[in-house]
Amino acid sequence: MNIIFEMISSWNNEPRTSELKSIIDWVCEKNASLRVSITRNKLTDSDAWFYDEEHGEIRNKSNSFFQIRGLQQYRDGEMILEQPILIQDEIGYLGIICKEIDGVLQFLMQAKIEPGNVNKIQISPTIQATKSNFTQKHGGKKPAYLDYFLNAKPENIIVDQIQSEQSSRFLGKRNRNIIIMVDEDIEVLPSHRWMTLGTIKQLMKIDNLVNMDTRTVLSCIPYCSAELSDMEKCEIYEMFTDKSLFRSMFGAGERDFVQVYRYINNYKMLHGCENKIVPLTELKSWSFTDEEIVHKKGYPFKVIFCDIEIEGREVTHWTQPLFQAEGMATFGLITAEFEGVKKFLVHAKPEAGCFDGIELAPTVQLEAAVPESEYLPLDKLFFELLENGAEIKNNVILSEEGGRFYHEQNRNIILNVTPDKVGELPEGYFWLDYKMLNEMVQYNNVLDIQLRNLLSLLEM
């Protein structure tokens, strides 16, 4: 069995309208029957979370899950940024089980609610659990299907990578993205359902339905590792409507890794910033009250405190802080064909909490609070192209991680243009084909989560 051929076949296996309706109805029925209560409260109302004066942080009394501290970033001795930052050193599981059923590769997906989700339930990986969850520090039940990942044999592992999370909110946060293949029969819980990759791709077109964790895991599928026979290549070629994407994924074009890594490594060596972790009370541009932590002049997010009750989870009632977005961000990716090969315009972008200082990001990665006066030239070009009839391949509103972020949803757009519309690239931007990006994603901390999520939306 050639697993990449099976992945592509599953991607090509688009669902009937009745199947999509069945999944949407399944989610709606669960939402209608689910009792959820999420209300704002005060930090001092919580019996689990408090401000630790000694360490200058908001933390849980069990010292698990995460902490919120202050971050100040300096360049050449001058402070250029300060904000609250989530510190969650533990690495969690984002895992999907797949299995061949009736000759088609299927993925075991979960209808899961997170407290910050804008619409309650979203389509999630088979397992989505922090280390505190699966080691049961919270006193709850062990997550379902955990043992399949703990005991997975090497020959059954398709993806197993440590990938970054949102570096504008987290300090060096990473999760384990993993896909495993099984042969044995698996009990499918009422919270789970088998879906083809083609079905999941169709569901991604619906606002806020497929969650961030599913998207990042699927972006890691190693198409670049395919060892395909000539017959398999011909069969796959016929599956693709977008032949330029096929050539981008499976072509043998030159790939200038040296150029990209030279830029990234030069930044890390010569232009990096110094991060200083400080008590929250030392953030002079922020107001810290019992009800929220908010920037005095405006910022992409604030910190709120919530009382949460959700039936059916490992723990049904708790309190916690959440980061609330102050508007909707835009993540945009420009694509173009070069001699029949689709390439993607990516930007090497530093961020405050980035584990390695800098990662490859989409063409545009703009927080809601960024004024137009601070747009980069390609940010401005992107919106000009969007308004002036560029071919829109994807335009969907999708949610960020609901376990730490409250109602954070962002606009995800892929535009296809001719290369002359972009012209000469500014420093730090690169045209890369899919195979090169896919090879890079096989290594930790190279593609940021916004770029990975956009690549997961691609259609064949």
Residue 423 lies in a domain: yes
Question: What pLDDT is recorded for position 136?
Answer: 55
Tell me the C-alpha distance between 290 and 276, whole Å: 24
Question: Is residue 297, in this structure, part of any structural domain at all?
Answer: no
* pLDDT for the residue numbered 135: 60
| Structural domain that includes position 343 | 250-273+327-456
pLDDT number for residue 137: 60
136 CA to centre of own chain: 25
Check pLDDT > 60 for residue 9.
Answer: yes
355-359-364 Cα angle (round to 5): 130
How many C-beta atoms lie closer than 10 Å to residue 374's C-beta?
Answer: 9
Q: What CA–CA distance (Å, rounded) separates 322 from 281?
A: 18
Burial class (CB in 10 A: 0-12, 13-18, 19+), 41: middle
Range with the poorest average pLDDT among 22-26, 154-158, 369-373: 369-373
- Judge whether 103 and 188 are in contact, CB under 8 Å: no
Q: Would you state the pLDDT for residue 229? A: 87
pLDDT at 14: 84
The pLDDT of residue 138 is 56
Q: Which residues contact 34 (CB under 8 A, 6 or more apart)?
A: 113, 120, 121, 310, 311, 312
CB 387 within 8 A of CB 197: no
Encode burial over 242-262: b for 16+ CB neighbours within 10 A, e otherwise.
bebbbbbbbeeeebeeeebee
- In what helix (H) or strand (E) does residue 307 lie, and over which residues does it extend? strand 301-310
Quote the mean pLDDT of the chain. Answer: 93
What pLDDT does 139 receive? 58
Interacting residues of 399 by C-beta distance below 8 A, sequence separation 6+: 117, 118, 119, 122, 208, 211, 212, 408, 409, 410
In the predicted structure, residue 315 carries a pLDDT above the cut 80? no
Q: Is residue 267 part of a domain?
A: yes
Residue 91 lies in a domain: no
**Contact by Cβ (8 Å): 24, 34:** no
Radius of gyration of the chain (CA): 22
- Helical (H) or strand (E) element with 7: helix 3-12
Identify the pLDDT of residue 422. Answer: 95
Burial of 423 (0-12, 13-18, 19+ CB in 10 A): exposed
Q: Which residue has the higher pLDDT, 316 or 93?
A: 93
Q: How far apart are CA 240 and CA 248, in angstroms?
A: 12
**Is 78 within the bounds of a domain?**
no
| Residue carrying structure tokens 């819980």 | 189
Whether residue 125 is contained in a domain is answered as: no
Q: Which run of H or E residues covers position 78?
A: strand 78-87
Angstrom distance (rounded) from CA 121 to CA 449: 21
Within a domain: 442: yes
Band of the pLDDT at 177, cuts 50, 70, 90? Answer: very high
371: in domain: yes
Tokens of 428: 């730090």
> What span, in angstroms and rounded, lies between the C-alpha atoms of 8 and 459?
11
| Cα–Cα distance, 194 to 16 (Å, whole number) | 15
Q: Cβ atoms within 10 A of the Cβ of 16, count?
A: 9
Percent of the chain with pLDDT over 90: 80
Report how far residue 384's alpha carbon sits from residue 134's, in angstroms, rounded to the nearest whole number.
Answer: 47
Calpha distance 188→99 (Å, rounded) = 12
Report residue 306's pLDDT band, with 50, 70 and 90 as the boundaries.
very high
Closest to 285 measured CA to CA, from 114, 25, 84: 84
CATH number at residue 396: 3.90.79.40
For residues 263-278, average pLDDT: 90
- 192-239 pLDDT, tens digit each: 999 999 999 999 999 999 999 999 999 999 999 888 888 999 999 999
For residue range 354-399, what is the model confidence (pLDDT) as tens digits? 988 899 999 999 998 888 888 999 999 999 999 998 899 999 999 9
pLDDT per residue over 117-148, tens digit each? Answer: 999 999 999 999 877 666 656 556 788 999 99
8 A C-beta contact, residue 376 and residue 366? no
Q: Report how many domains make up the chain.
A: 1
Long-range contacts of 44-53 (CB under 8 A, 24+ apart): 44/290, 45/305, 45/307, 45/319, 46/305, 46/307, 46/319, 46/320, 47/319, 48/318, 48/319, 48/320, 49/305, 49/319, 49/320, 49/321, 51/280
Contact by Cβ (8 Å): 314, 342: no
What average pLDDT does range 163-171 have in this prediction? 93
Q: Quote the CA–CA distance of 363 and 410 in Å, as a whole number.
A: 15
Query: How many residues are present in the chain?
Result: 460
Cα separation, 59 vs 48, in Å, equals: 8
